[in-house]
């Protein structure tokens, strides 16, 4: 399905290529560069590009383009999803997927790519299996490797996981401290209009796990109010039927970090919006303007809102801003025209505010519309939807694991129209 | 870049290879292509060769790493081939792997040398380690050298028979490789594929289908035998395989089933009841058989199976899987069921932007045909300023398609905010979207028009231009659409636009204005000539498109108002005559002949008719309108262009092809000892549920299953090989049974069988002894037929039930092989085994019930109230009453089981009584009763049906049809019947009640009539109202507690009645407030009744 993969950095260098079928010369990427040139920003490059004989499907993440070449009809999402999976795997292996890390570990990268696809069709994608086939680099090993001169990361023993009944879990896991941590993370996506009304507010939730349990544990996670979750996607390890009938998550977990479920609580439910802003943005003739924003708490459920920051993309005609924040720091990027205000924690008794003047480029018409304000924040120890884990049971193993659940709410795409 | 060179050098031996380190840097930098570089290159390769030729593994590894670096960078490293290929025999695993990688990359270019390595792989193919076998096959098949294709073929054929599923999977991958290398081997490969398709392991299934799709997608006949198995395996196949299988299934369904969306195009009642997996559909087909002349559409059970088995995949984390199921539903499901995919698709919109792009494109196409599906999710398509432009445009497209009279105001308000966007392309698209909304929804056209006129004074030129173009289209549409009624209304708009001509510079907008003025010049008789005058002045400076419109305007004016404009017109034509553009010259020549002819020709007379004919309005429609032709989720659909290898989705066949081709041989009864042993085996591999699911419907699987299991449980195999011989003999005898079976009607009882088994699963989980569970089962099996018999069931059905009982007993008593009952006995066995195993894995079985069902307890013996469904007067002699049986429905635990008693009070016998068209609230389902062939005068019969009310008291409306007549009826369940009893301890009860305080609590007080204040009558009364279970309480107080759960969603309902002398306090706690209040009302009224 996937013939070749090219990895391209932000300056347009094809710095890595891998072919699973016959070799396709990298000049094929010229078609991609052409489209890239047309697009205003890297995000605007169309994900699917047709060339006379090939089709290029690309993803853009962390300033890297992964361009897959296919020659025949294929479900495009198949390829795109897979490219993302490759990226995730790299991130998992090297903690960060960037040009530097990929170049640093090019042998591992190449071997991973070789294992993940056979004849362009996915072969071993589960991270547990891959890690058995190819060991991820770590600091200690890097040192010993430098001394001994070995570091392909190919493990000397052959893995068995691929053949086990639980293809996502490696076998023979042993820990001295058996722990299972669950992070319930919820992101609020919202659009708030000029008048402060909520146009749309949704919650996107995830349960990310860090499981360090020996042997083959069989876990059951139940919720106090599972009925909140009506739109879920599961990790393949979750037994769907158990969820359907009993609303409990029953699974044999993969080893290490993974995302157990992600869920979506749609716009039809009421979603609390923790913060409001009052804004006054005006452009005036004569190259000037006024900018004033105050943030206040709305429905914070008595929790402290932390890590608040605002991001305001201004139109090109804005030259600079001179502002005074009541707390935190602000920066204005004069090239990208983006104002960032790091507010930090909110003290409900003293509402954070920022005000000052906008200076406009003379000669340009004044902007017609006010910018949209993007907001970030996080609230720990709370899941905004109210979801709560009831209990975690373990079967199949004798020991008593240490269990922990953490809740966290943060802003997803949280926008104020002004 | 120094850091790179350091790392590369650092990993090597910096001291003796200083030059190589330097050029290693060259590998990873953008090399400056200096001339000196080549010589160094040459040197370096010598150096690498030396390292590879040596006998130190460390050196070899280092060299290989650097070579791989070159390969990765896309540099030519082919001249090292001889040195590298030698190391294929290296003992060092790491070196070996890297050599493999190198080999697959360059073998094609160095065919002769590559052959040197072949023998190594051939040896490795015999290795005892399955992973080595697999990787040898992988590399061997990746060497694209035609000469070795016979060797590859041999290797593949061998690998397909390999014990290890992993090797078989690799073999499946090797097939397309060989096919692309040597297309002539197709015939042999198809045989291999056929073998692989029969494989029962989930690991292999996806890859096998992929090979099938690449090599021989036209051989759909290979799928028939494996169809049901694949459907059942699907949930457990790895995600990428799921995508491929669902894609293939879509095509399969389109060729093998008839369209579910056409009326009356049913399929013949073919004889495939032998497949015992489908409870519900079987009944339908039975109906069908009884009445073959009248053919309402009935979905093939296999079609239903596919839809049902793919539905859970909508919860996959993999966007591609969700999309593939969505397109399957879009193309193959009945209209009413496609809606289920909407939610999952919306969820994908939170994904990466590339995923969003693809999903939105597909949604855009779906909304064209099925607007209602996404209407509820309108807000999910609201645009954020941070979205990339192509996403914004797609969302806009969808919003426009979703616009209706009801939501247009909301959408328009959204669109208004978008117009001011700084992204001009997007703002322009928004204006077009407004135009499309306005043209689709007549009510808002005027609002939109005035809004657009307002936009014409916008500062941004592109916004203005776009508005003008859209206004033009709208005006044109209105005047053609509604006749000339609106003539005067838009005069001011045209006037306004005429004034704008001076300011607007965008050619398209100017052209549009001019066209408008020309077309409607009689509405603005004063202004039009003036505009022409101005235009004539600036003619030479205009763009071509504007010039053409000036000519048009001049010509039209000259016809309508020749007195004022004739000279102007001539002037313009003269100017145009010498224009550089030949289009303009041509146009002016043509118009001049038409308007100002030298001699009166016949054409000139009709000039007015020609130029001022009423023009058809442009149709503003979705850009996605024509994408329908492509299958959703394909590359072709995204590109709106046929891609290489795209095959159109076949149209539904008129007549369904023979469905019996999917039948697989009838199950064989097994010896009990073996069964229990197998159970152990399956229990061990609780996740590896391929055997369970596959054997659910077809039994021949089980034989080959066993061979899969061989690896895991060796002891089993011997015994089973004996069985296999046995079973083959039995197969033959069964084949001869089939016709008999078609006549014998065990179908009525069959559907009940399966859920019963599921019910007992929970018990089996604890005590997995086979005998116990089967006997339990047979016990359970008995009561329903008994009760039915007492109600004068048709003899046929009772007989069937009895027969079934005997079968069961026989099975247990090991009489299974006796001829007459073999098949159904075996049927029983095959149902039993998989469902037990699947209870453990909880992954595969289709029914929704599972362990929780063990909580169900039958309520006290309460007289059942019967309600009138069809009065015998209105029913023309047919009277129907119904009652809620309060048993767990055999069809689904979410359904309320209802017993209908049909009595024929009329003069003539009725025949063909069945359920006709249903009109249901969303979420409700009806399980029909089996068709009643005939009902004699005065006779009466009762049948069971089940309805999922979805926890509402909405009526379920449907039709009861007899051969001659149709009656509309509706069943409303009292809220108490929507519950199922739930066992609970007192402590648990109080705890749960504590959680359901506040809004979810309803309290009420009633005065009890004297004779009804004792404990028994209170309890009886409560239980009469609602299907609940009393919570045992140790206290001897006068508080009675009852617990239940709602049928469909399993929401807890708690009732406590505290009796105090003559009055009683009722407290109802339920998360669903409606249910709580209604239940309270019902309770109050019955308790107070004396």
pLDDT tens-digit series, residues B954-963: 788 888 887 7
| A107 within a domain of the structure (yes/no) | yes
| Cα separation, B731 vs B703, whole angstroms | 12
Position B480 scores a pLDDT of: 59
CB atoms within 10 A of CB A110: 21
Task: Considering only the beta carbons, identify the residue of B318, B638, B641 that sits closest to A81.
Answer: B318
For residue B176, the chain A residues in CB contact (below 8 A) are: 119
Per DSSP, the three-state class of B778 is: helix
Query: Residue B319 and residue A43: Cβ atoms within 8 Å?
Result: no
Phi-psi sector, B252: left (phi>0), alpha (psi -120 to 50), beta: alpha
| Cα separation, B772 vs B762, whole angstroms | 13
Position A141 scores a pLDDT of: 58
| Gyration radius of chain A's alpha carbons | 25
- Are A285 and A266 found together in one domain? no
Which CATH number do you get for residue A123?
Answer: 3.30.450.60
- Are A354 and A391 found together in one domain? no
| A143 within a domain of the structure (yes/no) | no
Task: List phi, psi (to 5°) of B630.
Answer: -95, 150
- Convert B927-944 to b/e letters by CB count within 10 Å (16 or more is b): bbbbbbebbeeeeebbbb
Query: Residue B385 and residue A372: Cβ atoms within 8 Å?
Result: yes
| Cα separation, B597 vs B576, whole angstroms | 16
Task: For chain B, list residues with pLDDT below 50.
Answer: 1-40, 264-294, 483-485, 666-860
| Cα separation, A375 vs A373, whole angstroms | 6
Helical H runs in B370-506?
A: 371-375, 389-402, 408-419, 424-440, 445-455, 461-481, 491-500
- Search chain A and give the residue with CA nearest B349: A264
| A105 within a domain of the structure (yes/no) | yes
From A177's Cα to the closest Cα of chain B, the distance in A is 26
- Are A17 and A93 found together in one domain? yes
Task: Report whether A359 contacts A322 (CB < 8 A).
Answer: yes
Q: What is the DSSP string of B624-640?
A: TGGGGGSPTTSHHHHHT
Task: Considering only the beta carbons, identify the residue of B74, B320, B684 that sits closest to A17.
Answer: B74
Q: Is A239 on the interface with B (CB under 8 A)?
A: yes
Look up residue B470 and give its two tokens. 């859209």
Position A181 scores a pLDDT of: 94
- Convert B797-818 to b/e letters by CB count within 10 Å (16 or more is b): bbbbbebbeebbebbbeeebbe
- For residues B802 and A328, the model is more confident at A328
| A287 within a domain of the structure (yes/no) | yes
Q: How many CB pairs under 8 A join A and B?
A: 288
Considering A69, A101, A133, which residue would you say is the last residue of a domain?
A: A133
Residue A290, domain extent: 275-380
Q: What is the largest CA-CA distance in chain B?
A: 117
- Search chain B and give the residue with CA nearest A244: B848
* Tokens 């720091």, residue located: A329
Task: Considering only the beta carbons, identify the residue of B10, B93, B170 that sits closest to A154.
Answer: B93
B768 exposed, middle or buried (CB, 10 Å; 0-12, 13-18, 19+)? middle
| A174 within a domain of the structure (yes/no) | no
Position B811 scores a pLDDT of: 39
Q: pLDDT band at A250, cuts 50/70/90?
A: very high
For residue A158, the chain B residues in CB contact (below 8 A) are: 129, 131-132
Distance of CA B297 to the CA centre of its chain: 22
Position B890 scores a pLDDT of: 62
For residue B343, the chain A residues in CB contact (below 8 A) are: 231, 266
Task: Report whether A181 contacts A209 (CB < 8 A).
Answer: yes
Task: Report whether B900 contacts B882 (CB < 8 A).
Answer: yes
- Are A328 and A205 found together in one domain? no
| Cα separation, A353 vs A359, whole angstroms | 19
- Are A371 and A391 found together in one domain? no
Position B172 scores a pLDDT of: 92
Task: Report whether A1 contacts B173 (CB < 8 A).
Answer: no
Which CATH number do you get for residue A193?
Answer: 2.60.40.1170
| Cα separation, B862 vs B1000, whole angstroms | 28
Task: Report whether B235 contacts B310 (CB < 8 A).
Answer: no
For residue A227, the chain B residues in CB contact (below 8 A) are: 1049, 1051, 1071
Nearest to A81, CA basis, from B240, B633, B312, B245: B240
From B829's Cα to the closest Cα of chain A, the distance in A is 23
Query: Residue A40 and residue B389: Cβ atoms within 8 Å?
Result: yes
| A155 within a domain of the structure (yes/no) | no
Query: Residue A152 and residue B94: Cβ atoms within 8 Å?
Result: yes
Q: Is A193 on the interface with B (CB under 8 A)?
A: yes
| A172 within a domain of the structure (yes/no) | no
- Are A29 and A119 found together in one domain? yes
Overall size of chain A counted in residues: 418
| A91 within a domain of the structure (yes/no) | yes
Task: Report whether B489 contacts B521 (CB < 8 A).
Answer: no
With vertex at residue A220, the alpha carbon angle to CA A219 and CA A226, rounded to the nearest 5 degrees, is 150
The strands making up B910-919's β-sheet, listed across from edge to edge, are B932-935, B910-919, B956-961, B966-971
pLDDT tens sequence across B350-382: 889 999 999 999 999 988 888 888 888 888 899
- Are A87 and A225 found together in one domain? no
Query: Residue B108 and residue A22: Cβ atoms within 8 Å?
Result: yes
- Are A69 and A206 found together in one domain? no
- For residues A146 and B688, the model is more confident at A146
Instruction: State the total domains in chain A.
Output: 3
Task: Report whether B802 contacts A199 (CB < 8 A).
Answer: no
Q: Is A411 on the interface with B (CB under 8 A)?
A: no
Position A359 scores a pLDDT of: 87
| Cα separation, B498 vs B518, whole angstroms | 11
- Are A259 and A389 found together in one domain? yes
Position B1032 scores a pLDDT of: 75
Task: Considering only the beta carbons, identify the residue of A44, A76, A122 that sits closest to B388.
Answer: A44
| Cα separation, B248 vs B250, whole angstroms | 5
Task: Considering only the beta carbons, identify the residue of A60, A146, A241 that sits closest to B10.
Answer: A146
- Are A108 and A212 found together in one domain? no
Task: Considering only the beta carbons, identify the residue of B4, B72, B350 that sits closest to A17.
Answer: B72
Q: Is A65 on the interface with B (CB under 8 A)?
A: no
**Number of Cα atoms under 13 Å in the Cβ half of residue B1087:** 28
Q: What is the largest CA-CA distance in chain A?
A: 76
| Cα separation, B917 vs B968, whole angstroms | 9
- Are A279 and A376 found together in one domain? yes
Task: Considering only the beta carbons, identify the residue of A19, A100, A152 that sits closest to B65.
Answer: A152
From A264's Cα to the closest Cα of chain B, the distance in A is 6
For residue A109, the chain B residues in CB contact (below 8 A) are: 72
For residue A270, the chain B residues in CB contact (below 8 A) are: none
Q: Is A234 on the interface with B (CB under 8 A)?
A: yes
Q: What is the DSSP string of A193-262?
A: -TTS-EEEEEEEEEEEEEEE-SS--EEEEEESSGGG--SEEE-TTB-HHHHHHH-EEEE-PPSEEEEEEE
- Are A351 and A394 found together in one domain? no
Nearest to B828, CA basis, from B804, B797, B853: B804
| Cα separation, A261 vs B74, whole angstroms | 39
- Convert B562-579 to b/e letters by CB count within 10 Å (16 or more is b): eebbeebbebbbebbeeb
pTM of the full structure: 0.68
Query: Residue A152 and residue B848: Cβ atoms within 8 Å?
Result: no
């Amino acid at each position: 399905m996937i013939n070749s993969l090219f990895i391209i950095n932000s300056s347009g260098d094809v710095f890595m290529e891998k072919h699973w079928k016959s070799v396709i010369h990298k000049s094929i990427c010229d078609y991609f560069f052409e489209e890239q040139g047309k697009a205003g920003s890297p995000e605007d490059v169309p994900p699917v590009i047709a060339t006379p004989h090939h089709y290029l499907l690309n993803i853009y993440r962390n300033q890297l383009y992964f361009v897959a070449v296919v020659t025949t009809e294929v479900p495009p999402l198949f390829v795109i999803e897979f490219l993302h999976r490759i990226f995730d795997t790299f991130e998992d292996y090297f903690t960060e997927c960037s040009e530097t890390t990929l170049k640093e570990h090019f042998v591992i990268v190449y071997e991973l790519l070789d294992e993940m696809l056979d004849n362009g069709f996915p072969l071993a994608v589960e991270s547990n299996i891959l890690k058995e086939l190819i060991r991820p680099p770590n600091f200690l090993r890097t040192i010993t490797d430098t001394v001994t001169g070995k570091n392909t990361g190919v493990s000397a023993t052959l893995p068995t996981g691929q053949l086990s009944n639980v293809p996502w879990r490696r076998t023979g896991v042993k820990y001295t401290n058996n722990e299972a941590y669950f992070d319930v993370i919820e992101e609020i996506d919202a659009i708030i209009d000029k008048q402060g009304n909520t146009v749309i507010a949704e919650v996107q939730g995830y349960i990310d796990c860090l499981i360090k349990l020996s042997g083959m544990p069989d876990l059951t996670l139940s919720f106090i109010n599972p009925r909140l979750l009506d739109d879920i996607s599961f990790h393949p390890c979750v037994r769907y039927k158990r969820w359907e009938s009993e609303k409990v998550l029953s699974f044999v977990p993969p080893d290490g970090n993974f995302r157990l479920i992600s869920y979506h609580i749609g716009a039809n439910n009421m979603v609390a919006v923790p913060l409001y802003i009052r804004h006054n943005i005006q452009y005036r003739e004569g190259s000037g303007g006024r900018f004033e924003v105050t943030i206040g708490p709305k429905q914070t459920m008595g929790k402290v809102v932390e890590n608040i920051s605002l991001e305001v993309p201004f139109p090109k005609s804005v030259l600079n801003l001179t502002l005074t924040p009541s707390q935190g720091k602000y920066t204005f990027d004069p090239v990208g025209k983006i104002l960032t205000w790091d507010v930090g924690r909110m003290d409900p008794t003293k509402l954070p505010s920022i005000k000052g003047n906008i200076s406009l480029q003379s000669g340009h018409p004044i902007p017609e519309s006010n910018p949209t304000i993007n907001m970030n924040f996080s609230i720990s120890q709370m899941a905004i939807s109210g979801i709560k884990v009831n209990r975690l049971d373990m079967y199949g193993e004798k020991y008593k694991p240490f269990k922990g659940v953490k809740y966290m709410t943060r802003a997803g795409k949280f926008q104020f129209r002004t | 870049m120094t850091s790179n060179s350091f790392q590369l050098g650092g990993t090597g031996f910096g001291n003796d290879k200083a030059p190589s380190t330097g050029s290693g840097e060259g590998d990873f930098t953008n090399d400056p292509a200096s001339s000196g570089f080549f010589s160094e290159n040459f040197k370096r390769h010598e150096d690498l060769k030396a390292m590879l030729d040596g006998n130190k593994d460390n050196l070899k590894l280092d060299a290989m790493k650097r070579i791989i670096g070159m390969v990765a960078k896309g540099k030519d490293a082919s001249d090292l081939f001889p040195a590298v290929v030698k190391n294929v025999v290296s003992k060092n695993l790491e070196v070996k792997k890297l050599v493999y990688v190198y080999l697959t990359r360059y073998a094609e270019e160095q065919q002769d040398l590559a052959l040197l390595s072949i023998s190594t792989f051939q040896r490795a193919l015999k290795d005892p380690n399955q992973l080595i076998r697999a990787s040898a096959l992988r590399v061997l098949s990746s060497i694209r050298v035609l000469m070795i294709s016979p060797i590859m073929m041999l290797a593949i054929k061998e690998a397909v028979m390999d014990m290890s599923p992993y090797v078989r999977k690799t073999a499946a991958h090797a097939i397309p490789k060989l096919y692309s290398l040597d297309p002539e081997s197709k015939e042999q490969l198809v045989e291999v594929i056929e073998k692989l398709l029969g494989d029962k392991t989930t690991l292999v299934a996806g890859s096998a289908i992929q090979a099938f799709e690449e090599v021989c997608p036209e051989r759909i006949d290979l799928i028939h035998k494996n169809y049901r198995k694949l459907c059942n395996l699907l949930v457990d196949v790895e995600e990428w395989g799921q995508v491929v299988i669902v894609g293939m299934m879509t095509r399969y369904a389109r060729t093998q089933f008839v369209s579910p969306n056409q009326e009356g195009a049913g399929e013949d009642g073919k004889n495939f009841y032998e497949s015992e997996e489908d409870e519900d559909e079987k009944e339908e087909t039975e109906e069908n058989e009884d009445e073959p002349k009248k053919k309402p559409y009935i979905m093939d059970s296999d079609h239903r199976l596919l839809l049902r088995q793919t539905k859970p995949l909508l919860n996959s984390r993999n966007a591609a899987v969700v999309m593939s199921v969505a397109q399957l539903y879009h193309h193959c499901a009945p209209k009413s069921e496609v809606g289920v995919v909407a939610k999952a698709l919306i969820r994908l919109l939170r994904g990466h932007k590339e995923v969003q792009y693809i999903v939105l494109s597909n949604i855009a196409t779906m909304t064209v045909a099925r607007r209602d599906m996404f209407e509820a999710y309108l807000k999910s398509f609201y645009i954020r300023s941070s979205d990339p432009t192509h996403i914004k445009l797609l969302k806009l497209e969808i919003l426009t398609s979703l616009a209706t009279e009801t939501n247009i105001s909301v959408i328009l308000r959204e669109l208004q905010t978008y117009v001011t966007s700084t992204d001009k392309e997007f703002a322009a698209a928004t204006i077009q979207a407004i135009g499309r909304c306005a043209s689709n929804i007549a009510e808002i056209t005027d609002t939109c028009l005035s809004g657009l006129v307002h936009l014409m004074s916008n500062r941004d030129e592109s916004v203005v231009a776009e508005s003008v173009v859209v206004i033009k289209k709208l005006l044109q549409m209105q005047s053609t659409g509604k006749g000339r009624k609106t003539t005067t209304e838009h005069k001011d708009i045209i006037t306004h636009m005429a004034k704008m001509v001076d300011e607007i510079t965008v050619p398209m907008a100017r052209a549009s204005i001019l066209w408008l003025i020309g077309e409607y010049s009689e509405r603005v008789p004063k202004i039009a000539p003036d505009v022409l005058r101005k235009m004539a002045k600036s003619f030479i400076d205009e763009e071509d498109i504007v010039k053409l419109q000036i000519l048009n305007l001049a010509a039209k004016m000259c016809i309508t108002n020749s007195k004022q404009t004739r000279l102007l017109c001539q002037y313009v034509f003269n100017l145009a005559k010498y224009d550089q553009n030949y289009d303009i010259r041509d146009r002016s020549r043509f118009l001049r002949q038409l308007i100002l002819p030298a001699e009166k020709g016949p054409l000139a007379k009709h000039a007015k008719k020609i130029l001022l004919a009423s023009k058809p309005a442009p149709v503003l429609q979705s850009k996605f309108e024509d994408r329908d032709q492509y299958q959703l989720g394909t590359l072709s659909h995204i590109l709106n262009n046929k891609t290489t290898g795209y095959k159109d989705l076949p149209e539904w066949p008129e007549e369904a092809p023979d469905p019996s081709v999917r039948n697989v041989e009838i199950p064989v009864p097994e010896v009990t000892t073996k069964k229990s042993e197998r159970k152990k085996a399956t229990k061990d591999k609780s996740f590896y549920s391929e055997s369970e699911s596959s054997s659910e419907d077809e039994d021949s699987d089980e034989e080959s299953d066993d061979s899969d299991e061989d690896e895991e449980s060796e002891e089993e195999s011997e015994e089973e090989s004996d069985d296999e011989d046995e079973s083959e003999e039995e197969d033959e005898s069964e084949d001869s049974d089939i016709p008999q079976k078609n006549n014998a009607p065990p179908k009525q009882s069959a559907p009940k069988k399966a859920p019963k088994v599921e019910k007992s699963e929970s018990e089996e989980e604890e005590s997995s002894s086979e005998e116990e569970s089967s006997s339990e089962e047979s016990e359970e099996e008995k009561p329903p037929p008994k009760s039915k018999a007492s109600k004068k069931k048709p003899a046929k059905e009772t007989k069937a039930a009895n027969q079934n009982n005997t079968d069961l007993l026989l099975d247990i008593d090991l009489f299974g092989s006796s001829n007459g009952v073999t098949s159904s006995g075996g049927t029983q066995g095959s149902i039993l085994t998989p469902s037990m195993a699947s209870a453990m894995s909880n992954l595969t079985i289709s029914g929704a019930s599972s362990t929780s069902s063990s909580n169900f307890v039958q309520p006290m013996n309460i007289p059942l109230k019967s309600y009138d469904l069809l009065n015998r007067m209105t029913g023309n002699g047919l009277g129907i009453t119904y009652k809620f049986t309060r048993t767990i429905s055999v069809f689904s635990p979410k359904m309320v089981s209802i017993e209908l008693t049909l009595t024929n009070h009329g003069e003539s016998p009725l025949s063909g009584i069945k359920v006709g068209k249903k009109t249901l609230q969303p979420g409700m389902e009806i399980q029909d009763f089996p068709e009643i062939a005939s009902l004699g005068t005065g006779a009466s019969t009762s049948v069971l049906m089940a309805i999922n009310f979805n926890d509402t008291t909405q009526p379920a409306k449907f039709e009861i049809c007899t051969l001659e007549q149709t009656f509309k009826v509706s069943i409303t369940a009292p809220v108490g019947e929507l519950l199922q009893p739930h066992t609970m301890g007192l402590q648990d009860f109080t705890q749960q009640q504590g959680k359901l305080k506040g809004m979810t609590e309803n309290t009420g007080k009633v005065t009890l009539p004297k004779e009804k204040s004792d404990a028994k009558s209170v309890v009886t009364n409560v239980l009469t109202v609602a299907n609940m279970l009393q919570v045992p309480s140790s206290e001897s107080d006068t508080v009675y507690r009852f617990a239940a759960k709602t049928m469909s969603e399993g929401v807890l309902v708690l009732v406590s009645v505290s009796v105090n002398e003559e009055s009683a306090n009722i407290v109802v706690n339920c998360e669903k407030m409606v249910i709580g209040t209604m239940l309270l009302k019902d309770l109050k009224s019955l308790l107070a009744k004396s």
